[in-house]
Amino acid sequence: MPGTILIGTQWGDEGKGKICDLLAGDMDMVVRFQGGDNAGHTVEVGNTTLKLHHIPSGIMYPKTICIIGDGMLLNPEVLIGEMTYLESLKISTDNLIISSNAHLIMPYHIILDREGEMRLGSAKIGTTKKGIGPAYADKAKRIGIRVQDLLDEKIFEKKVVTSLEEKNEILTKIYNVEPMEANEILTEYREYTLRLKSHIRNTSLMINEGLERGDNILFEGAQGTLLDLDHGTYPFVTSSSTVAGGACGGAGVGPLKIDHVYGVAKAYVTRVGSGPFPTEDTGDIGDAMRDIGVEYGTTTGRPRRCGWFDAVLLRYAIRLNGLDGLALTKLDVLSQFDTIKICTQYRHGGETYEEFPPHQSIFHKVEPVYEEMPGWKADISGATKLEDLPKACRDYIDRIKELGKVPFKVISVGSERDQTIIL
Ligand code: GDP
Ligand code: IMO
Ligand code: MG
């Protein structure tokens, strides 16, 4: 199974970190291909809980090479913080490799993200305020600064000075905030370069050589399908291609090198930030899901909005990503509910929608059509095989399988690595 892509099928936080860590035991490399430190992936093994933002979720395995790919953004200060934290836990970062093509998040991107959101007022996206939108915008405008620029002090200085000429105009004249000093940024980033430079490589070459050798390589998505810049709930999305197709561009591999595309789906749905969410429950059910599932943002600590499983979104994710396997996570969180609902279609203006509606204006207004199933009301967090699950729980899984028509590979019943049913 040389090339496998793992992506989120909802609005992020599906438990990609846990599933990636689980699969990474058999992987020679784990590659992140988009996003930056807006991601927060949790890996729990024994007494250790890692909250990873840039670093791929295979880092617990000493032999697995972890790659920050071409399509990623990188905030060097945050990345160095993550590396130092891992090293304090005796987890080596020697195998962490950074693409020279990845773009840098600069201090002004973070301020522009914050100020831009403030200006939008009630129309704000609810970003993580990590500078993601402004940094990807600079990349698309071809005025971004890349990791490789760190390696040549003259080029880096020129790019920072040029960039600040425009950015300081925007900061002072549009947002009425203090301008930034090039020298401060240069001094700060010089230190980061010293720390990071031995990790910088041509990662596309490494990955393709690995694939040629028959290495197992996992491409770890961040965010989720509904946050994709093209296919998500625009404009309430992130600024990168989060779908499986994005892995090839963001890691520098051809599509024929990919053997499997697995999706991660939470047994219910959550979302952080603004934007439409048809099955959102703003009452007791949603509160209970948040409490039991500890649904608070890994990156920002914000409470996540919660609601029942949405099979229309699942079908959309299957289509966009070409999924051939699914991991269902956090099933244990539903154990306390008397009845469980699944949204099977939407309704709006006398029409029903089995598939994701063609326009956002419809998606904003749709009402979910639910099927109701009995809950199982039993602790399943120790289950290791399908037969350990109560009948009502297996019926719930079977119904999702029927609605999605994709085989399940993994069912997760707890945050620990071994709280997992492998199918
Ligand atoms: P990611 O961004 O997709 O990697 O997901 P996050 O790490 O942001 O959020 C998922 C949260 O659920 C983390 O706190 C995980 O430790 C936790 N988690 C993952 N799988 C399970 C599960 O099956 N059951 C429970 N109860 N928690 C889980
Ligand atoms: P992981 O990888 C959940 C959301 C933000 C906001 C929108 C845009 O942990 O699943 P951005 O800062 O990217 O410009 O914010 O996207 N968002 C996430 N939501 N999990 C994430 O990552 C997210 N990364 C971004 O909340 O709605
Ligand atoms: Mg997360």
DSSP string across 400-420: HHHHH---EEEEE-SSBTTSE
Based on the residue annotation, tell me whether 13 is a catalytic residue of this protein.
yes
Beta strands per DSSP E along 258-405: 260-266, 269-271, 305-307, 309-310, 325-329, 339-348, 351-353, 367-374
Q: What is the mean pLDDT of residues 185-200?
A: 98
Q: End-to-end alpha-carbon separation of the chain, Å?
A: 16
Q: Which residues pair with 285 in a beta bridge?
A: none
- Phi first, then psi, for residue 393 (nearest 5°) are -70, -45
Q: What distance in Å separates the CA atoms of residue 358 and residue 339, rounded to the nearest whole number?
A: 31
Residues with CB under 6 A from ligand 2: 8, 11-13, 38-41, 125-128, 130, 132-133, 222-224, 227, 236, 238-239, 272-273, 298
CATH 1.10.300.10 in the chain: give the residue spans.
103-199
Q: For residue 298, what pLDDT is reported? A: 86
The predicted-structure confidence for 238-273, as pLDDT tens digits, reads as follows 999 999 999 999 999 999 999 999 999 999 999 999
Of 50, 330, 409, the one to substitute when testing ligand 1's pocket (max ligand atoms within 8 A of C-beta) is 330
Atom number, ligand 1, closest to the C-alpha of residue 329: 23
- Its pTM stands at 0.98
CATH topology of domain 3-87+203-422: Adenylosuccinate Synthetase; Chain A, domain 3 (3.90.170)
Q: What distance in Å separates the CA atoms of residue 357 and residue 272, rounded to the nearest whole number?
A: 22
The predicted-structure confidence for 384-404, as pLDDT tens digits, reads as follows 999 999 999 999 999 999 999
> Which residue type sits at 344?
T
CATH code of 103-199, in short, is 1.10.300.10
Q: Which residues contact 1 (CB under 8 A, 6 or more apart)?
A: 216, 259, 260
| Ligand 2 centroid, distance to 375 Cα (angstroms) | 31
The tokens describing 374, both together, are: 């009995």
CATH 3.90.170.10 in the chain: give the residue spans.
3-87+203-422
